[in-house]
Amino acid sequence: MNTRMVCIECGATYHVPADETWKARCYRCWKDWKQHQQQQQQRQQHQGTNSEDVVVQRLRARLDTLQIENGRLRQQLARRTTDVPALDTHRWRSFAQFIHPDRHGNSPVATEIMQWLNQLRPH
């Protein structure tokens, strides 16, 4: 069974097998990222590493970690369902009877909630 994922680079959705959910990038972004990594390694081999290079490497490693974490959080958000059941007439009437201000001594809170509930009244 495939799992829907969100790419940490471009935000596109893609599908991977259930045992490969560790993949954080879509194939196109992964290819670009891999090519960038290889170019970086080649530059490092041709240049001596100085302290600035070490700092840049650490920052890039941290950036990669944060991008992966961001991707996982995006995936969690994408998996959440936002479907709220509709408020049917029967439920609305039950709520209205329960919170009606007349039953609560015309309290301001009950009045405010009843006004809000009236905005949600099904037609």
**For 64-85, how does the pLDDT look when each residue is reduced to its tens digit (9 = 90+)?**
889 888 988 888 887 776 666 7
Q: Is the pLDDT of residue 44 over 90?
A: no
- The reported pLDDT for the residue numbered 36 is 87
Q: What is the largest CA-CA distance in the chain?
A: 82
pLDDT in tens, 96-117: 999 999 999 999 999 999 999 9
pTM of the model as a whole:
0.40
> In this predicted structure, what is the pLDDT of residue 84?
67
CA distances, 111 to each of 1, 97, 98 (Å): 51, 12, 12
Q: Return the H-helix or E-strand segment holding 41.
A: helix 27-46
Helices (H) and strands (E) in the chain, counts: 4, 2
d(CA 35, CA 28): 11
